[in-house]
Structure formats: structure tokens, C-alpha cells
Amino acid sequence: MQEPLPPIPAVATIDEVVAAIDGIIDWSITNTSHLGYFAALYKRITVAIRQGIIDGKFQDGPRMERFDVTFASRYFAALNAYFHPLQFPPLSLCWRVAFEGALLPEPIIVQHLLAGVNAHIDLDLGIAAEETAPGPALPSLHDDFNAVNVVLASQVMAVLDEIDELSPVLADLYDVFMKYEIDIINTALEVTRDDAWAFASLLAASPKLVQPFEIAKHDVKVTLIGRLILAPPKPLSDIVAAIAARESRDVVHNITVLNAQAEAFAAAIQG
């Protein structure tokens, strides 16, 4: 039986975001939870954005840190709502699908990663963008938003490229896809990111009173995608079963490997 993840306090800086993610990873290892997969990926993404701010890769570094903190805070709020429903506002449907999916033994590592990516990018990213640059100010964020999207995509793809030792069949399939220049996952991420900006634009054009209804409607759409990610139809389900048959099912080992990769990445980009 898992112990509940302790409530995550409010964060105000990227360093505090990384520290909070480390706490999620530590909890996931202690409780053998698949939630650690997405947390390790998210740590890597956050470290990359932090370095991008330091290196001046964004037009407005301070605003980008606020954006990152706002974005991450939605992930933390979702975890708080899931583990402590009486203490925090209700959980969105798409995050519930991702978190409940983490209790299932069948999904492979990539499914757990993409279930989190789906909820966080397709729902949270647009909301965080509009909160960072509300209403008519949103277009001023567009270039930095796209720059963040490049970081998100590059880190997701880098992690998938590094899990060969954990998932040999996936590695074989990925080699085939690369040979024929069919990058299915990257294409899906591009569509998701474009949809996130469209959603942010919709919220920016909507009165504040209407925004909760637009968010709830969008949440339903994202939830349906999350369910398909965790329980795909044939023939994808057959491919997933073949990957699962040879993939490491040692959750603690897998999280430890993914976290070590995130730590190595952080050390490398810091010089």
C-alpha cells in the first residue's frame, strides 16, 4: 500500500520547482510508483529551461521563470488534489486518468510518460501561458512559448532515445522509424503543442467568467486522448504487448535510471 505523497508547498523559483520534483522522485522510489517516470522526465525539462534562461535563450528571462513556475505549479496542484482531495481544489479529469493509470501494471514506460505529457501540455500549458500573459498580452509570449516547446520536445525525444536498456523492443522499433524518417512521437508532440497555443488563445479571448467552462470542455477532450494512450486499440495494443514482454518491469530500477540520466544531463549542460 502506497503512502500518500506529502502535500507539495507553493513554489516561487525554478530551483524550488526542481527541489519539489526531486521529492516526487524520492517518494516514487520509496513507494514503487510509476509516477516517478514522468517526474524524472519533468526534472530534465525543467533543468533545460533553467539553463536556457541562464544562457539568455528567451526574450524575457524573468517572465520565462514565472511561466515555468506557473506551469509546474499546475502539475503540483494536480498531485496535491489527487492525494489530498479534501485539502485542495478538485482534480482535472485528464490528470486523474494519468495518475490512476500509474496504478496499472500493464502500461509500458512510454505510455506513462505520454499520459503525463498529454495532461500537462495539452491542458496545463495553455492555461499557464494565458495566466503568464493574460488577454491581449498573450501574443508577446508566442516566441518564448515556441522556444519552450522546442525544449519539451527535445527532452521527451532524448529520454525515449535513452531507454534502450530498459525497453529493447522499443529501441528496435525506434531504429526502424528513424530509418524511414517516421517520427510518430515527435509529430504527435508538435500537434499537441500547437493545440496548447490555440487553447491559450481561446482563453485569452474569453471573459474570465467563461474560462472555467472552456477549461472543463477542453479537459474532456484531453482525457479521451489520455485514455487512448493508456489503453490503445489494435494493432497498437499488440505492439505495446510486444514491447512490454521484454521491457524492464522493475519500477524502482527504471526510475533510478531515468533520474540518473536527468542528473547527468544537468551536469553536462552546466559544464
DSSP annotation of 210: T
Unique residue bearing C-alpha cell 533543468: 47
- Span 154-198, pLDDT tens digits: 787 777 777 777 888 776 766 655 544 445 566 667 778 889 999
Cα angle value 133/136/140 (rounded, 5°): 55
Q: Which domain holds residue 35?
A: 14-269
Q: Is 96 among the domain residues?
A: yes
Q: Residue 4 falls within a domain, yes or no?
A: no
Quick check: bond before 136 cis, omega within 30?
Answer: no
Whether 67 has a pLDDT exceeding 90, the answer reads yes
CA–CA separation, 236 and 28 (whole Å): 28
In a domain, 201, yes or no: yes
User: Angle at which helices 184-204 and 109-119 pack, to 10 degrees?
Assistant: 20
If you search the block for the grid coordinates 486523474, which residue do you land on?
96
> What is the pLDDT, as a whole number, of residue 162?
76
- Give the total number of structural domains in the chain: 1
**pTM (global) more than 0.85:** yes
Q: How far apart are CA 94 and CA 249, in angstroms?
A: 25
- Does some domain include residue 210? yes
Q: Looking at the predicted structure, is the pLDDT value of residue 137 above 80?
A: yes
Mean pLDDT over each residue of the chain, to the nearest integer: 91
Give me the mean pLDDT over the 20-40 stretch: 97
In a domain, 6, yes or no: no
Residue 136 belongs to some domain of the structure: yes
For residue 49, the number of C-alpha atoms closer than 13 Å in the C-beta half-sphere is 33
Whether 126 is covered by a domain: the verdict is: yes
The whole-number pLDDT of residue 1 equals 65
Share of the chain above pLDDT 70, in %: 93
Would residue 1 count as lying in a domain? no
Fill in the amino acid letter for 218: H
